[in-house]
Amino acid sequence: MKYLYKQGGFGAAWLLPSCLPSYLSGMDIFNFSEICKASYTHSMTSPTPLQPQTYPRRILLAVAAKSPQIITETIYALAVEEPRWLPTELHVITTGRGAKTIQAALGAEGGNWLAQLCQDYQLPLICLQKNNLHIITNQHNQPLEDVRNSADNACAADFITQFVREFTADPQCSLYASLSGGRRTMTYYMGYAMSLFGRAQDRLTHVLIEDDYFFNDQFYYPPPYPKLIPCKDGTEVDAQTIEITLADLPFIHLRDTLPAEIFSGKQRFTDLIATAQAQIVQPSVKFNRALKQLMCGGKLIKMPPLHMTFYVWMLERCMNQRPAIHWTTQETPKLATQFLKLYANLYSTNGYYEAAEKSLAAGLTKSWFEEKKSKINKALTEQLGHSTALYYHIHSQGKRPLTRFGLTLSATAIHLSDS
């Protein structure tokens, strides 16, 4: 085995795994996350959500304040469990006051407990880089010394949510979020952010330890050798015998129910909650002909005129309980005539009408029909989120060769108005 030494950060040595490709062997200074990424790139084909340890980027995200021990206790529990999941990055969200406590306990200038844990269990060095210690800021982007009031809580919610959203945007990343430290409101926000953005490869965890040892500043993990530490009652206990349990907390995955804009924006936590709540209401559609305004579940939906006309056509058929259609369906008037008449009523015969009329001169075609259906369903998914959009999609009905297409909404859920 060969040791490499990291310069900067909190300092310490790590073991270079023997499974690494040979091109890494001559390097003197190396970033641990790059070592792990190279190792997994070399030994794995593609990550599997049910095996989070197979992801090249593995982030442990914790909220902490007065109990930095939860960080080492969590890493210890992850290291001794099988299959082993070790972070390539450690990120901690805290307050200004909490940052001082964490640095004093885990940094090389203080207790250096992180490095000691890695040395005791022959783990690759897991550093808490200074730029990975994230201090919550207020609305003026100033660090919060503590979370004391409702305004501070709102800032903490937005701050935590943004990091969870950012980390879960990386498809090559597995995120483990710890609920063990920080104020109760901070852990609540972490848990709810995971419900909003968490994926199959992400986990929500909590370390369990007897209350007698929870705030003991001499205990950070059970060492692999006997070590007496003082207790609150004046007695001593062998730290090696203290049990730590890592609970894997199940959570509701709402990610697929949310519209695409949620993942790229910077919406506040309260707005995200309102969006999620809107996804669980009963489906309803409103279309205002005068304003050309379509609302699905209270959400304004935007589409170009051709697609909007096609969708309103489907709404009218569904509301009037007319059968689903195929591009070859024979009706009087013809399907193409029905579509063009509705387009003229909504948007007049200007603009795209002539092009649409020319396209439909020979009636509806498979390519024209399927293109409109596909693009409308895609627009609904992008604006409503996958799970919610399914209520409003144009669905296939029946089996070939009798397949037809239409909406599956209740007729009473559709409201069309002229003003």
| Burial label, 68 (beta-carbon count in 10 A; 0-12, 13-18, 19+) | buried
CA distance linking residue 356 with residue 345, whole number of Å: 14
CA distance linking residue 184 with residue 42, whole number of Å: 41
| pLDDT tens for the chain, residues 1 to 419 | 232 323 333 333 333 333 333 333 333 333 444 444 444 444 446 899 999 999 999 999 999 888 899 999 999 999 999 999 999 999 999 999 999 999 999 977 777 899 999 999 999 999 898 899 999 999 889 999 998 898 899 999 999 999 999 999 999 999 999 998 778 889 999 999 999 999 999 999 999 998 888 778 899 999 999 999 998 888 999 999 999 999 999 999 999 888 887 887 778 888 888 778 777 778 999 999 999 999 999 999 999 999 999 999 999 999 999 999 999 999 999 999 999 999 999 999 877 899 899 999 999 999 999 999 999 999 999 999 888 898 999 999 887 778 899 999 999 999 999 98
CA distance linking residue 400 with residue 230, whole number of Å: 75
Task: Name the pTM for this structure.
Answer: 0.66
CA distance linking residue 93 with residue 181, whole number of Å: 10
CA distance linking residue 388 with residue 283, whole number of Å: 8
**What sign does the CA torsion over 61, 63, 67, 70 have?**
negative
CA distance linking residue 406 with residue 311, whole number of Å: 9
Which residues lie closer than 8 Å to 155 by C-beta, 6 or more apart?
A: 136, 137, 138, 139, 144
CA distance linking residue 377 with residue 129, whole number of Å: 45
Question: What is the C-alpha R_g of the chain?
Answer: 29
Residue 263, SS3?
helix
Q: How many CB atoms lie within 10 A of CB 219?
A: 24
Whether residue 309 contacts residue 347, with contact meaning beta carbons closer than 8 Å, is answered with: yes
Whether residue 33 contacts residue 88, with contact meaning beta carbons closer than 8 Å, is answered with: yes
pLDDT of res. 45: 61
pLDDT in tens, 59-101: 999 998 888 999 999 999 999 999 999 999 999 999 999 999 9
CA distance linking residue 149 with residue 160, whole number of Å: 16
CA distance linking residue 193 with residue 178, whole number of Å: 12
CA distance linking residue 40 with residue 334, whole number of Å: 60
Which residues lie closer than 8 Å to 344 by C-beta, 6 or more apart?
A: 353
Residue 403, SS3?
coil
CA distance linking residue 107 with residue 400, whole number of Å: 66
pLDDT of res. 56: 97
Tell me the DSSP string of 327-339: TT---SS-HHHHH
Whether residue 117 contacts residue 75, with contact meaning beta carbons closer than 8 Å, is answered with: yes
CA distance linking residue 23 with residue 127, whole number of Å: 23
39 φ, ψ to 5°?
Answer: -60, -45
CA distance linking residue 299 with residue 233, whole number of Å: 60
pLDDT of res. 361: 93
CA distance linking residue 235 with residue 232, whole number of Å: 7
404 φ, ψ to 5°?
Answer: -130, 165
